[in-house]
A and B are shown apart, each in its own frame.
Chain A
Amino acid sequence: MDQFQSTLEAIGSNLHGFSVFKAAVLVVTGWLLARIASLTVRRLFSEHLSRHDLALVRRVVFYVILALFVVSAVRELGFKLHVLMGAAGILTLAIGFASQTSASNIISGLFLLGERPFSIGDVVKIGDTTGEVISIDMLSVKLRTFDNLFVRIPNETIIKSSLTTLSKFPIRRLDLQLGIAYKEDIERVREVLFDLADKNPLCLDEPKPILIFQGFGESSINLQFSVWAQREQFLELRNSIQIEIKKQFDRLGIEIPFPHRTLYAGSVTEPLPVRIESDNSHRREKT
């Protein structure tokens, strides 16, 4: 503690205006050089590295250069580095207790960089949020959602929660849940569905579509029709194939039932009023 106090006194006596000016110049120069080096790295390697790797290399280059100049500036101010490091240790301990969350986020960020479950530009689903990764920073990951909102998710949250990377593999399966009436011929429905998948160019030929019998539902036979699509065409296929199925079912008279409910009024309540309208009165009402 005495050593720390004596160092602080020494710093106070050595802090001259010129030294402060020199240190400031060093920090500004360091920041400028680090920025130039970072931009140069981007220009040189943008074609060879992925966006994720490029961001990582640029960040390392920037902070290493800046750190060297900051250390020089600190020396210029009269600080002795080894003493400062010792002081920094004590300080870190104190700050560590006060900022556990930030430290946890930084460490989580390091794990994320090492594990690499996603890269910049990937589409991910974290909790209820789905969006494109626009940056992976020291404390958090920034997403742009599809309704163009900026979402910041702390690294610690990502490490703790389950994460789905939607853009990891080039193809995706679309599972359509369908219900058909009990009176329908399942074989015929199967043919109709496979024919529609065959005619839709976005639906992959291989892996082949599959039809899974899900069970006898309350008011329908439940089927799952699974088709594959290129990742980029997933949404387009999701729309087009469902519209085509509805149109074709309507054309062929295949019924998609909705839940049926029988209302029992019981003996306690009055009977429900029923009004019968003739065709003529109906027409009169219309006119």
Chain B
Amino acid sequence: MRAQSSVTAAQWWGRFDLRVGVTGRWDVASLSLAVTRLAREWRMQHRERKFEEGSSASWSVTVPGPVLDDDAEVMRYVVRDPSDAIMIQPALADRPVVTRPVEPIYLQGGEETTIFVSSPLWVNVHNETMDGPFLDVPSHRPSDTWFGPSTMEGEMCYAARTQGRLSLAEMPLRLHRALTALSIRNKGKQPLLLERLKLPVCQLSLYSSARKHKGMLWTSDTTIVAGKETELAEIHVETGAPRHVAGAELVSGPREPLENYVLKRAMHALLG
């Protein structure tokens, strides 16, 4: 089976069957991954590849495919499970992602807006019998960034090098990134400056669109509500499917399960 990158083609993730001695090869954004089924063993190789953001061929899956060169990182897992099935799953980043609107925006008091932001995906490899994944690697290693009021107080995040947009139509659709509809509501009287936005992706679920733009990945809808007088902001994570996706299917749950779907945070901890 050989699948090439295309918005309408089959997706790069899902269940794949590899018989003993067969290698499957996945190239997703900057990641090259080769999974080989051996007798009682899974052998995985991965390394970075040259990839330009915006390139049309963002992924390819080749089964049977070639193994990677010796310079790739190798991991071997001994298993008793005789199954040939391997699951390749997309996941959201393991830290919050910071994004910027194309240009800083002021949100007037009492107004609400939705910004569409995209965040990088991680690739999980696991089989049906294991609790945790064999491998959890980024499809594109984002740059580290710091989000906080000072260099002493804040949180390590990833910088999304793409920019948030106010219209979904302007958003480039990429199968190696996940889209989020982030609503911001300003309950206060003063205008709110939106310069940097922190998206807590570890607490969001991942959905795929089954109809329009099949295979596109979306996260749970999220709303940030800036308080009236206080310096506190609330973040609401919607539990259902994203509202902009018709026939959304759950792909994976959040990395850090949310006990409370409404979190209160200091304003500077969400909006920079």
Contact = CB atoms under 8 A, between A and B. Distances in A.
- A and B from one assembly? yes
Interface of A: 169-171, 198, 200-207, 228-230, 233
A204 B152 contact: no
Given A170-B156, A171-B151, A204 B142 contact: no
A170 B141 CA distance: 20
Nearest to B154: A170
Given A170-B156, A230-B156, A203 B151 contact: no
B178 interface: no
B244 to A, nearest CB: 28
A203 B142 CA distance: 10
A170 B147 CA distance: 11
Interface in B257-272: 272
B239 interface: no
13 contacts: A169-B151, A170-B146, A170-B154, A171-B146, A200-B143, A201-B142, A204-B144, A204-B146, A206-B98, A206-B272, A207-B151, A228-B146, A233-B144
Interface in B129-167: 141-147, 151-152, 154, 156, 159
B143 A201 contact: yes
A140 B26 CA distance: 55
Nearest to A203: B143
A170 B145 CA distance: 11
Contact of B143 (A170, A171, A198): A198
A171 B151 CA distance: 7
B116 to A, nearest CB: 20
A169 B146 CA distance: 12
A200 B48 CA distance: 13
Interface residues of B, number: 15
A229 B144 contact: yes
B152 A169 contact: yes
A83 B141 CA distance: 72
Contact of B147 (A169, A206, A230, A233): A206
A198 B144 CA distance: 10
The 8 closest A-B pairs by CB, nearest first: A205-B159, A205-B145, A201-B141, A201-B143, A206-B145, A205-B143, A204-B144, A169-B152
A206 B159 contact: yes
A202 B152 contact: no
A204 B145 contact: yes
Contacts of B146: 170-171, 204, 206-207, 228
A203 B159 CA distance: 11
Contacts of B196: 206
Nearest to B156: A230
Given A204-B144, A204-B145, A205-B159, 10 more contacts: A171-B151, A201-B143, A202-B144, A205-B143, A205-B145, A206-B145, A206-B146, A206-B196, A206-B272, A229-B144
A171 B141 CA distance: 19
Interface string B105-148: 00000000000000000000000000000000000011111110
Contacts of A201: 141-144
A225 to B, nearest CB: 17
A169, A203, A205, most chain B CB atoms within 10 A: A205
A228 B156 CA distance: 12
A260 B118 CA distance: 52
A171 B156 CA distance: 9
A1 to B, nearest CB: 59
Which one of B142, B144, B152 has the greatest number of beta carbons of chain A within 10 Å?
Answer: B144
Nearest to A229: B144
Nearest to A231: B156
A204 B147 CA distance: 10
A227 to B, nearest CB: 11
Nearest to B141: A201
B30 to A, nearest CB: 10
A78 B196 CA distance: 75
Contacts of B141: 201
Nearest to A168: B152
Nearest to A228: B146
A228 B143 CA distance: 12
A239 B147 CA distance: 25
A203 B144 contact: yes
Interface in B18-66: none
A202 B141 CA distance: 10
Contacts of B159: 205-206
Contacts of A203: 143-144
A240 to B, nearest CB: 13
Contacts of B145: 204-206
A98 to B, nearest CB: 45
Contacts of B152: 169
Nearest to B147: A206
Nearest to B272: A206
A33 B154 CA distance: 44
